[in-house]
Amino acid sequence: MFDTRLFSFIIVICVSFTLPATVDLIPNEYFKVQSRTWDQAIVMAKLFVSQLTLEEKCNMTAGVGGACVGTVFPILRLNFTGLCFQDSPSGVGDGVLYSTAFAAGIQIAATWDRDLFYQRGVAIGKEFQGKGVHFALGPMMNIDRNARHGRNWEGFGSDPYLSGENSFAYVQGVQDQGVVATAKHYICNEQETNRFHATSRHRIQENPSNSEGYSANLDDKTIHEIYLWPFASSVAAGVGSVMCSYNQINGTQACQNNKTLNGLLKGELEFLGNVMSDWYATKTGVESVLGGLDIDMPGDGLMGFTLVQAVKSGAITEARIDDMVTRILASYYLVGQDQGYPSLDLDRDAIGDNHKINRQVGTAGMILLKNTNNILPFNVTTDKYYYIYGSAAGQSADGSGSGGSTQNGGALYQGGGSGFVHPTYNIDPITSLMAKGRDFHLEIQYITNQYDYNDINSSFHARGFTNAKCLVFICAYSEEGSDRTDLHPLNDGDKLVRLVASGCNNTIVIVNSVSQLNLEAWIDLPNVVGVIWSGMPGSEYGPALVDILFGDYNPGGKLVFTLAKNDSDYGTDISPTYESNYTEGVFLDYRHFDKYNITPRYYFGYGLSYTNFSFSQLDISKASNEKHSASVQYRERLMRPYSNFGSSRLYEPVYEITFIITNTGKVDGSEVPQLYLGFPAEAEEPPKVLRGFERVYLSAGESKQVTLILTQKDVSYWNVVNQKWTVAPGTYTVWISTSANNADIKLQSSFNV
């Protein structure tokens, strides 16, 4: 146990750790990665810039036409062939051939498994690099503030800490392959409604100053503690690029926002890479350049060559142009793209064996929500008869073509918009279930026309139905550019579940959803005995689901948002106007439910397993400098030549939290212990906030000691008066829990500072 008398102050540990010149990376087929430190990369970039004319430099600050969704001007006389920027966060997008549609951001987050976060990043990075793409336009880390936001599926859920951990690992996975990652969309891009001036033409005429995207209006504490947090993690990881968003922040457009770009990002976070605009998010030339924007994408005349005149007239200094181009090229040198990077061929097959990691992520991110009397997993010897209902069980009638997995029926592998990856193949649940049926002699029938109520009713009288397991597939789709109109499944999915449950006492619902869904129409029906949240699992959906249904994989995913009983319980929603007021402050998702004592249907962090776990021996100690200590290992794991932890020491370990977890059941499985922290009153924090987690895999009967690290930032709050991350004096409570539900807390202790 932690002795509070010994630790009256947090002492920041001052360790100097030497950066390796190169890191040992997963062997790479195409390209030997030699990444560099920012200092080294900046020296090289400056040398390059010193050889350019003013015209060449300005040309590099805006996109030009090319094969990629964004292209930076080549300087052929210096053997610089330009830069290719390409979507998306979940694989190489924009309609290219030979691409893996990876399990989406929301799915990888639901695995709560840092090794998988990283391995997925590596696999994605390999495909970008194999095609010769220089910048991957991901990760997407906007917070799931609004359940209906059309792009929630691209991001990592509602918690900043969880999003930050995901962003960090993604950046390293991608950049370890020599590809520059792009953290987007900076910042407070939490809705699609009114994101763009094109939808508000009448307002432009009325008042030109309102011609831009909606304004996210929020205070200093909230932006630091919630929305900036994952971007800060990306910068610490060493991200090369940040994409500014369509919206305004407190009345100023994101891509010319001096406060958020020059102040927070380049100043406070010490970001050394470049800021690129989201596509057509640049509204001005000179003002944006002065506000901190470095590249205009895809380039429509506001920057680029136009800036030559601005320099000549004195509106912009040439030093600022040099800074912009240095920032663009620094990220190129940082990840070693000058060392024989593959030539550009967007349709080159660089898939390798990425289906393996994709299946693993798809499976690990599925969440078991309900399992009455252990109906799951099925037993191939005794459970012989299956009836499948719902169009979301099979392929869409439209194929998985352009613009997103269709909303017109069919299993959903990803959501739509620029984040969608045109998949080389997709395996739907019916296909995989049939293969299982072939191998184990299972009787499998299906009805995918979910409006054929007569057929569904007749199925209840089919031969053998009495013992059938009924699998009902429902889905919810969304895409970039619009928000969902409600939180219900497509195509009367609620009605489908109710109908099947009226005739089948072994109804298992599979929820294939982009983000939050309201389950209340059927969740309490006694015949609904099982619910699996299959999420947005990518191309390997079918195999991943079948592994879970039959117990070849013991589910261990956890919700990355709360599932409310009433939509209004979330307390936040899409703003229908051009002002989106973040009046909830830091009380978002479980922090809000805690504050107002609202009981949700399922808590943030919740998810069942086919086995059980016990917890013991919680201990809190100060971070150690011993060679093999958890703190030292933690630091080593995070380090890369290109890391950018800045001068703040905020990412230094300050506490080690240890405990024992045991698999007390009969099958192997995993649990995700979650560390929630309670702050002293001065911090004005929610009752508890997530500050640590680890997915622990245990054989039946096995025990492991788990160590979670609390960093200086983890125990700090943003002090708006001092403008600093500050440790609040008083008692901190540490809870180890299996969800944000207080009833799931397993261990509790405290420390004083």
Q: Between 278 and 589, name the residue whose CB sits nearer to ligand BGC.
A: 278
Burial class (CB in 10 A: 0-12, 13-18, 19+), 464: exposed
Residue keyed to tokens 């599925």: 366
Q: How far is the CB of 184 from ligand BGC (least distance, A)?
A: 6
| Whole-number Cα distances in Å, 374 to 111, 334, 693 | 22, 52, 27
**Interacting positions 75-94 with ligand BGC (CB under 6 A):** 87
**CA dist., res. 652 & res. 260, Å (int):** 25
Phi, psi of 453 (to 5 degrees): -65, -30
Determine, following the binding rule CB under 6 A, whether residue 268 of this chain makes contact with ligand BGC.
no
Alpha-carbon distances of 471 from 116, 196, 387, 454, 536, rounded to whole Å:
28, 41, 6, 18, 18
Residues with Cβ within 8 Å of residue 651, at least 6 apart in sequence? 236, 638, 645, 711, 712, 713
Which DSSP symbol is given to 682? G
Catalytic residue among 94, 144, 278, 296: 278
- CB of residue 243 to ligand BGC, shortest distance in Å: 7
Q: How far is the CB of 710 from ligand BGC (least distance, A)?
A: 33
The token pair at 395 is: 């392929």
276 or 728: CB nearest ligand BGC? 276
Least distance (Å) between residue 147 CB and ligand BGC = 20
Least distance from C-beta 246 to ligand BGC, angstroms? 7
Nearer to ligand BGC, 420 or 541 (CB): 420
Candidates 360, 351, 339, 330; CA nearest to 118 is 360
Contacts of 394-402 with CB under 8 Å at 24 or more apart are 394/428, 394/429, 394/430, 394/431, 394/446, 394/448, 395/426, 395/428, 395/431, 400/101, 400/426, 402/95
Kindly report whether the peptide bond that precedes residue 461 is cis, defined as omega within 30 degrees of 0.
no
Task: Give the pair of three-digit tokens for residue 465.
Answer: 């139905």
Give the whole-angstrom CA distance, residue 736 versus residue 750: 11
| Contact call for residue 137 and ligand BGC (CB under 6 A) | yes
Closer residue to ligand BGC in complex, CB, 71/507: 71
Strand partners, 724: 719
* 140 or 470: CB nearest ligand BGC: 140
Closest Cα partner for 159 from 232, 265, 230, 219?
A: 230
* Closer of 141 and 563 to ligand BGC (Cβ): 141
Q: How far apart are CA 655 and CA 72, in angstroms?
A: 45
Q: Which is nearer to ligand BGC, 145 or 359 (CB)?
A: 145
b (16+ CB within 10 A) / e for 538-565: bbbbbbbbbbbbbbebbbbbbbbbbbbe
> What mask of x and - would describe binding to ligand BGC in positions 277 to 296, judged by CB under 6 A?
-xx-----------------
Work out how close the CB of 317 gets to ligand BGC at its nearest, in angstroms, rounded to a whole number: 30
Size, binding site for ligand BGC by CB under 6 A: 7
Q: Respond yes or no: is residue 278 known to be catalytic.
A: yes
Cβ distance to ligand BGC smaller for residue 279 or 582: 279
Matching residue, tokens 């919680």: 618
CA distance 355 to 723: 46
Structure tokens, 482: 């619009």
The one among 41, 52, 62, 69 contacting ligand BGC by CB under 6 A: 69
Collect all residues with Cβ–Cβ distance below 8 Å to 6 and sequence separation of at least 6.
Answer: none
Tell whether omega for the bond before 295 is within 30 degrees of 0, i.e. cis: no
CB of 84 to ligand BGC, least distance (A): 12
Q: What are the beta bridge partners of residue 736?
A: 675, 747
**Nearer to ligand BGC among residue 264 and residue 276 (C-beta):** 276
CB of 279 to ligand BGC, least distance (A): 4
Binding residue (CB under 6 A) for ligand BGC from 145, 184, 359, 601? 184
Q: Choose between 231 and 279: whose C-beta lies nearer to ligand BGC.
A: 279
- Rounded least distance, CB 418 to ligand BGC, Å: 4
Eight-class DSSP state of 63: B
**How near is the Cβ of 199 to ligand BGC at its closest, in Å?**
13
Residue 113 is a binding residue for ligand BGC (CB under 6 A) = no
Task: Name which of residues 566 to 605 contact ligand BGC (CB under 6 A).
Answer: none
Encoded one letter per residue, x for contact with ligand BGC by CB under 6 A and - for no contact, window 403-422 reads: ---------------x----
- C-alpha distance from residue 288 to each of 227, 253, 460 (Å): 22, 9, 64
Catalytic machinery residues: 278
Binding site for ligand BGC (CB under 6 A): 69, 87, 137, 184, 278-279, 418
